Structure 1
Amino acid sequence: MTNDPGLYGYLPYQGRPKIAWPGDARIAVWIAPNIEFYEMNPEPNPVRAPWPRPNPDVVGYSHRDYGNRAGWQRMMRAMDEAGFRGSVSLNVALCEHHPEIIKACADRGWEFFSHGIYNTRYTYGMTPEQERAIIVDSRATIAKWTGQTLDGWLSPALSNNTWTMDLLAEEGVLYTCDLFHDDQPTPINVASGKLISIPYSLEMNDTIVYNTYQYTPRHYGEMIKRQFDQLYAEGAESGTVMCVPLHPYLVGQPHRIDAFAEALSYIAGHDQVWLATGREIARHYIDHHYDAVAGAVAAHDAKRG
């Protein structure tokens, strides 16, 4: 008997098939801004309340709305100056609420992947077909507003069901950010098709750093640099991935932006760094490394019995 959900096989970090990134890069670094829209008083979910305070939570709503008014512009300037493109974890309803933001990101060649329709509509308690409808809606909305395909997925508020990964693969999504188990991409066990997990770090997520750990901006900047230094060193043996997930209402605050910008400049100042998007990482991995890693996982599992 085991409680392992079987989402992915086990293969120790050392001894895996070597990952080679474009340009002989040691590390692929990608930035994932969560550009979100929160409803003031959404429909109730049987599992999770949308706000910590009683509805209507004007404080929570307006704090998050700061990101869509002032915070995203500061965040974007810092990324521009360091040469980073974003991979937008998008609540797709924002396309209609704030098309100016979508255009600014698209004009810079940023990727758009789905973070659900609204960040206050969770998939808990949904049927598979209700959840599939969100994926289909996300694909259509992203295509309509940006002309891009839907290649990545981060469930709204990290809400998942046991069938979520199978649905993503069936609908042609290439990668998920819902798993936090590794520093390299990982093949995911799905009923059909191919799906990979790309590292999306909770440890580097500004929500966790500022709201849970309650660290200072200076400490956050140092965390980003230390994370990079370690993964950069390890990447000399086999390519690693570093993700910095962001929320403009947090990182875009005036007193926080300088530490973040300085950390990005530090990363960009190194050689053998691939400043990538999630889509670019996923496609390269699937084209060049998926089969070798999946085969090694299967062999390791067979050896373990």
Structure 2
Amino acid sequence: MQEGAGDPQLYDYAPYRGRKKVVWPGGKTVAVWVAPNLEYYEIDPPAHPKRKAWARPHPDVVGYSHRDHSNRVSHWRMAEVMSKHGFPGSVSLSVALCQHHPEVVADGAARGWEFFSHGIYNTRYAYEMSEDQERAIIADSIRTVREATGQTIRGWLAPALTHTPRTLDLIAEMGLDYTCDLYHDDQVQEVKVRSGRLASIPYSLEVNDHYGFFVYNMSGREYADTLIRQFERLAAEGEASGTVMCIPLHAYLIGQPHRIGPFEEALRHIAADGRAWIARAGEIIDAWRAQA
């Protein structure tokens, strides 16, 4: 087999042991960031030839209304628990939410949350987009979030985790400096792009509440225990070199009445431990860049 065949050349290989030591502020061993996905799903989106938006025929009233719980009820429940224990959000934002439900975006901004783009709608997929179409979505994201919050987005999580071969190059070229779309590491890493600089920040699928409840069929308490075990291991390993723990959330899942209690217990545990640097995504990237 030809050496390097199939390697997309997105990043260099760096074995976990023996890397340059990363030190987080205050001597903390693990940077912990919470990524609420504030999303908007269309009830009857345009059909895409490669992927169905809903499991049921459109309009999928059940799927739509289940997710709409986020923007009506469970966002507030989730956000209040996060604020209570000192966890700011770094928001994976469907930027159409700025028009559809500006109250939700305004609440996050008032809490000092950071925003990055998760595309326009979570029911529009990047597959087969032209370069011009993809550029337009990135530009729309930058403009819309700036108008709604005053912030200039720095990060990107592809809508519904869908990409083109040029996505990472384009977001770097248009001024963004971190991506959540690579799941290959527990530390910040450099990404190879044709211009600009781009870092990958760990964004976990393993402790994403969507995977926890829909894929691994966890109870609320099992999920909370998973967060604690993830934290304990990364905090211990971070003694050698600072690690990163992401807690990706969807309010319509974690903010349900029967799940929010165990989740709050997990946040309380992490906040009280003393080894966590509780930060926003951009702060983690800046601290890493300062010593990379």
Question: Fold conserved (TM > 0.5)?
Answer: yes
How does 1:199-210 map onto structure 2 within 5 Å?
199-210=202-213
Give the match for residue 247 of structure 1: 250
| Residue 109 of structure 1 pairs with residue 112 of structure 2 | yes
Distance 1:206 1:45 in 2: 26
Alignment equivalent of 2:214, drawn from 211, 214, 226: 211
The alpha carbon displacement at 1:273 in A equals: 1.6
Give the match for residue 129 of structure 2: 126
User: TM-score, normalised on structure 2?
Assistant: 0.98
* Contact 1:23/1:272 (<8 A) preserved: no
Distance 2:125 2:286 in 1: 28
Alignment equivalent of 2:191, drawn from 184, 188, 193: 188
* Contact 1:72/1:252 (<8 A) preserved: yes
Q: Cα deviation per residue 1:267-304 (whole Å; 9 max; x = unaligned)?
A: 00011321101111112212321xxxxxxxxxxxxxxx
Alignment equivalent of 1:59, drawn from 53, 62, 65: 62
Deviates more, 1:267-276 or 1:176-185: 267-276
Q: In angstroms, what is the RMSD of aligned CA positions? A: 0.8
| Residue 43 of structure 1 pairs with residue 26 of structure 2 | no
Distance 1:77 1:139 in 2: 27
Q: List runs of 5+ in structure 2 lacking aligned partners.
A: none
* Contact 1:88/1:112 (<8 A) preserved: yes
* Contact 1:46/1:125 (<8 A) preserved: no
Distance 1:192 1:157 in 2: 25
Distance 1:216 1:109 in 2: 30
| Residue 265 of structure 1 pairs with residue 268 of structure 2 | yes
Give the match for residue 15 of structure 2: 12
The alpha carbon displacement at 1:118 in A equals: 0.4
Q: List runs of 5+ in structure 1 lacking aligned partners.
A: 290-305
* Contact 1:207/1:250 (<8 A) preserved: yes
Distance 1:112 1:99 in 2: 13
Distance 1:130 1:280 in 2: 30
The alpha carbon displacement at 1:222 in A equals: 0.3
Alignment equivalent of 2:291, drawn from 288, 292, 300: 288
Aligned residue for 2:273, secondary structure, equals coil
Give the match for residue 228 of structure 2: 225
Distance 1:103 1:125 in 2: 33
The alpha carbon displacement at 1:22 in A equals: 1.3
Distance 1:278 1:46 in 2: 34
| Residue 71 of structure 1 pairs with residue 74 of structure 2 | yes
Give the counterpart letter for 1:71 in structure 2.
S
Give the counterpart letter for 1:219 in structure 2.
E
Distance 2:288 2:49 in 1: 38
Distance 1:287 1:169 in 2: 19
| Residue 99 of structure 1 pairs with residue 102 of structure 2 | yes
Aligned residue for 1:281, secondary structure, equals helix
User: TM-score, normalised on structure 1?
Assistant: 0.93
Give the match for residue 143 of structure 2: 140
Aligned residue for 2:218, secondary structure, equals coil
Give the match for residue 25 of structure 2: 22
Q: Which runs of 4+ in 1 moved over 2 A?
A: none
Deviates more, 1:265-274 or 1:227-236: 265-274
The alpha carbon displacement at 1:4 in A equals: 1.5
Distance 1:253 1:272 in 2: 29
Give the match for residue 152 of structure 2: 149
Distance 2:27 2:137 in 1: 38
| Residue 32 of structure 1 pairs with residue 47 of structure 2 | no
Distance 2:97 2:191 in 1: 29
Work out the number of aligned pairs and report it.
289
Distance 1:72 1:182 in 2: 29
* Contact 1:210/1:216 (<8 A) preserved: yes
Aligned residue for 2:257, secondary structure, equals coil
